[in-house]
Amino acid sequence: MKQKKQLVVLVFLLLIAGFIWFVYFNHDKPIVTADAIPTPQNYQPIGVDNPQLHNDAVGRARKTEYKGSGRNPFSRELPTPPQRKESKKDPPVVPSVPLAPVVITPTVSPLPVKFFGYGTVPNSLSRRAFFTDGEDVYIVGEGEVLLNRFRILRIGNANLEYEEVSTGLRGTAILEEQAAPPTP
């Protein structure tokens, strides 16, 4: 009796495996017949004057040699100018005072909004900064991004530290107090 049940379960599992094989492995191959291949009626080839490969141009490109300028593309310092060779016909060159290389220090762009206050969230130590841009008011916490451009790093009592997301440069914004309305 036990062997009959095992045989029935085996046949049932083989039927399931056969069905899965039929569904997944047999139907993903397209059936190609002579009638199923579409043939264009008015085929016109692209007009190419000379379909041959241009081996001479490929050979010239392969033989070219790269001659760098000596500049490091990963450094912000400008390269030193090339030394000029003196010849007998040229007048003597008076050596000039070497100039210090110009180092451009990137600066962070100022916030396009006005930082006018801060507050704390109840039952938490996190601070929120308040910004205004005319009529719009933005409330941003530490670690959040303002205007998809500036990440607020630290909110202090009198200033705010931020980082420009695209360049990673850091800046500081000072708390701007609003003037009191005039009294009558």
Please report, for the chain, the start and end positions of each structural domain, with discontinuous segments joined by +: 114-174
The confidence score (pLDDT) of residue 135 equals 87
Task: Please list, in sequence order, all residues whose beta carbon lies within 8 angstroms of the beta carbon of residue 169, skipping any fewer than 6 positions away.
Answer: 106, 107, 108, 163
The confidence score (pLDDT) of residue 27 equals 57
The confidence score (pLDDT) of residue 66 equals 81
What is the tens place of the pLDDT at every residue in 69-117?
777 778 887 777 767 666 666 566 666 767 777 777 888 889 999 999 9
Residues 134, 124 contacting (CB under 8 angstroms) = no
Which residues of the chain are under the pLDDT cut of 70? 26-39, 82, 84-95, 97, 178-184
The confidence score (pLDDT) of residue 91 equals 62
Separation in Å, CA 7 to CA 11, 12, 153: 6, 9, 70
In degrees, to the nearest 5, what angle opens at C-alpha 70 toward C-alphas 69 and 72? 115
CA pair distance 170, 161, nearest whole angstrom = 7
